[in-house]
Amino acid sequence: MDLTEIIESQKQLAKADFKFFQDSVVDAKNHSDYDFYLGELKSAVETGNEENINELRDLIGKKIEEHKNLFVDVESSRLNLVEHNNNLKAIKYKSKMLRFLAILIIITGLILMFYGFHNWQFKYQKFIDAEMKWKGEIFVELLREKELKPKDEQQRKNQESESESDS
């Protein structure tokens, strides 16, 4: 999974959590049935109907519990959204740092490469070239001497044979 896929999945999760958060807030705002239950409770208290009062208390208690749960879910959703945003920021920061580190390593490598080439070329290679040239000149001299020796020997033999034939 590459970095763009991770960022995209984090964005999708954040969007889903934010949608749930928005829907939860809208649901909480639309619960206007408290007014209805309170009106019923007042009328039950005025009439003195104990059974109705207990039922309405239970209903209002359940509604309050539902709203508490709803707001807990909303808060949880909000915290998840904040966490997703923090994760995205952390991923982007790590991405920038890795990119910076890679560029730094490449630049350092290039500098070291050019430094090494410069040292090799101007500090060592010129001496190696001079040594090879010197050895080559010695080798050429040796070859010339070997070529001349057989000719000299041939001339000596010819001279010796001429001198023997003259005698």
Q: Over 90: is that where the pLDDT of 41 sits?
A: no
What pLDDT was estimated at residue 158? 73
Amino acid at 17: D
pLDDT score at 102: 96
Q: Residue 56 contacts by C-beta under 8 Å, 6 or more apart in sequence?
A: 37, 40, 41, 44
| More confident of the two residues 132 and 69 | 132
Q: What is the sign, positive or negative, of the torsion defined by CA atoms of 4, 85, 83, 95?
A: positive
Query: Which pLDDT belongs to residue 109?
Result: 97
pLDDT in tens, 114-123: 999 999 998 8
DSSP string computed for 105-148: HHHHHHHHHHHHHHHIIIIIIHHHHHHHHHHHHHHHHHHHHHHH
What pLDDT, in 10s, does the model give residues 92-107? 898 899 999 999 999 9
CA–chain centroid gap for 146, Å, is 68
Q: pLDDT: is 143 or 46 the higher one?
A: 143
Tens of pLDDT along 48-71? 767 776 776 777 777 777 777 777
pLDDT at position 3: 62
Dist CA 154 CA 81 (whole Å): 103
Cα radius of gyration rounded to whole Å, the chain: 49
75-to-10, 13, 67 alpha-carbon distances in Å: 19, 16, 12
Global confidence as pTM: 0.42
Arithmetic mean of pLDDT over the chain = 77
